[in-house]
Amino acid sequence: MPSTRRVVLLLTHSGDYYTIDRVAEEVTRRGLLPVRLDTDDFPGKWGLATAPGDEGWLNTPAGELREREVQAVWLRRLMPPRFDEELEPAYRTSCARESLATLEGFLDTLESSGCRFVNPPAADHLAHNKPRQLRLARELGLEVPRTLITNDAARVRAFFQQVEGGAVTKMLTPLSQSMDGSRPFLYTSELRAEDLEDLEGLRYSPMVFQERIPKSHELRVVVVGNHCFVGAIDASRSAAGQVDWRRARPDECSWQAGALPSGVSTRLVRLVAALGLVYGAVDLIVTPEGRHMFLEVNPGGEWGMLEKELGLPIAEALAEALAESP
């Protein structure tokens, strides 16, 4: 590739479709060259070299790429490598660790040279800290459900009484980034009185316990810089989806255009910025009284359904952010 070309790296995984293609199209429209790299194919199918004090390079499916050609990086997803059966299981963990460390080192070199990131790697990693999200959200004036994170069964039972038996449970981190059934995925679930008799699993993993908030509907708010794109979904007719809309069948609910009070949108933009992010997918509950309850920010949350079903120009906004000067 000629060194005069301005490249945007799109870091994702091999099972990613639609969103990655839409951003690539919008990046191309702005005169930049999108180069997709599936991180689960590293180091088996593409290569890189970092040379401290000298220029690094990438050997990509689109050809050889020099470090100085990379103007921006969309850090959509970093995934562990897929190894073939020739590699003994005993070596897979260490090989995966070394591969990720090499990739992160290269990204750090790009960032230090002024390359623009959506999102910056260090901020993206820290932003997954859910207690920090909840603290910052509360400090910025957003309403947050009462929350307990613990491995102490007695405290769980006391919390259940405090919220008068209306509680849900979930994990701080996902078992999987996928909802397609190919890997374990744990949904938000109702905590029932009979569950309090068997909390043995807390010996192995703490969990999040949160006040269950009555819902009129739920919002997915995609924040890109100063812009908020809002989709609304009502899963109240779904027996499976009332606690977590992701469990509802497609015929039970669909995405509709959503809206936010200006004060809430301003606070969400400030929250995403306070987390050091350019992009964040925010989940909110709107109560029957019209209160907006903050649940979480996902730095890599999905937005394809909002663009595909509602026509929201999220890919355009991401491409604009990537095309900006650092």
Q: What is the CATH number of the domain that holds 299?
A: 3.30.470.20
Which among 59, 67, 61, 62 has a CA at the least distance from the CA of 108? 67
Regarding whether 254 and 125 lie in a shared domain, the answer is yes
Q: What is the mean pLDDT of residues 282-291?
A: 96
Q: Quote the pLDDT of residue 238.
A: 60
Q: Final residue of a domain: which of 76, 101, 118?
A: 118
What band does 183 get if pLDDT is binned at 50, 70 and 90?
very low
Average pLDDT, the chain: 89
| Residues whose CB falls within 8 Å of the CB of residue 272, separated by 6 or more in sequence, listed in order | 223, 278, 279, 280, 282, 297
Going across the sheet that includes 147-150, the strands are: 147-150, 207-211, 167-170, 189-191
Mean pLDDT, residues 139-149: 97
Question: pLDDT class for 201, splitting at 50, 70, 90?
Answer: confident
DSSP conformational letter for 80: P
Mean pLDDT on 247-263: 85
Domain range for 101: 7-118
Describe the chain by its helix, strand, coil percentages, rounded to 5: 35, 25, 40
Which of 48-52, 122-126, 201-205 tops mean pLDDT? 122-126
> Would you list the DSSP string of 153-170?
HHHHHHHHHHTTT-EEEE
The strand pairing partners of 262, in sequence order, are none
- Decide if 290 is inside a domain: yes
Same domain, 157 and 39: no
**pLDDT on residue 179:** 37
Residue 184: give its domain's CATH number.
Answer: 3.30.1490
Say what the pLDDT of residue 123 is.
Answer: 96
How many domains are there within the chain?
Answer: 3
2 in any annotated domain? no
152 and 135 share one domain: no
d(CA 197, CA 194): 6
Same domain, 173 and 311: no
239 pLDDT exceeds 60? no
Q: Residues of the chain with pLDDT > 70: what percent?
A: 90
Confidence band of 1 (pLDDT split at 50, 70, 90): very low
What pLDDT was estimated at residue 181? Answer: 37
Residues 137, 149: contact at Cβ < 8 Å? no
